[in-house]
Structure 1
Amino acid sequence: MEIQSVSTTLVTQKLKETKAFYLSHFDARPAFDCGWYVVLRLGASPSGPEICLMEPQEGMVPFTGGIFLNILVRDADAMYERLHDQAGLPVIMPLEDHPWGDRGFGLLDPSGALVYCYHPIPPAAEFQQYILD
């Protein structure tokens, strides 16, 4: 089996606000938009990562949290400066080094998803044993 792509769909009653959040702060662009379902492509690559947003349809339960969207960036410090210091977005996980091998921070999008922006750093010795490839 060869998996070609994976994306996440957030079912949200705040589709417009969530779409604007990613367009404004993550250089996203719509790849598909029928109003109630939107596919946003992040970054400059035409085959870049995607996040999908959907207004609840009849019988669907809206997203209520419990998901991290992990976004690998070139420089988490620069992204923090751009999103928190310049754009004023509230951070709910501070920018810091983590012993498992990343430096990052987290904020919430309008749908309630935690957006974790990070870049890799060398892991602490106690986490070396968990690296499998």
Structure 2
Amino acid sequence: MQPTTASPAITTPHVAASRAFYIKHFGARLVFDCGWFISLEFAPGLSLQFMEPQPEQPACNPTGLTYNFRVADVDETYNELLATGLTPDTPPEDHPWGDRGFALRDPNGVMLYIYSDREPAPEFRTAFLGGADA
């Protein structure tokens, strides 16, 4: 697997407070905001995400940390990882917010979300506010 970006996503019920804190005190720039998920950018290639728990999303760690890895071809990466003996938690799926991805856990129980970008559904297009990792 050869990620093109990697970024942490923290699952929390305090998305709005996190947005305000990092923008005010760390100079973050909001690059994606759909209400329950935000992406903040500090510099090109340096980003942090926060999301509210999403029980209907099996690839979502309900508490704590998810590490996101963007790859060029998510299906190829999925098959490569299967060939090494890994058993992902979910198969690759298209998501309306603009990616196709799957999830697996590392030996520490940290959720890893592996994805490739896709065109977002119309209802998510306005959530993209710009930025290198948006």
**Considering only CA atoms, is the larger Rg found in Structure 1 or Structure 2?**
1
> TM-score with structure 1 length normalisation?
0.49
> TM-score with structure 2 length normalisation?
0.49
Larger relative contact order, structure 1 or 2 (CA cutoff 8 Å, min sep 6):
2
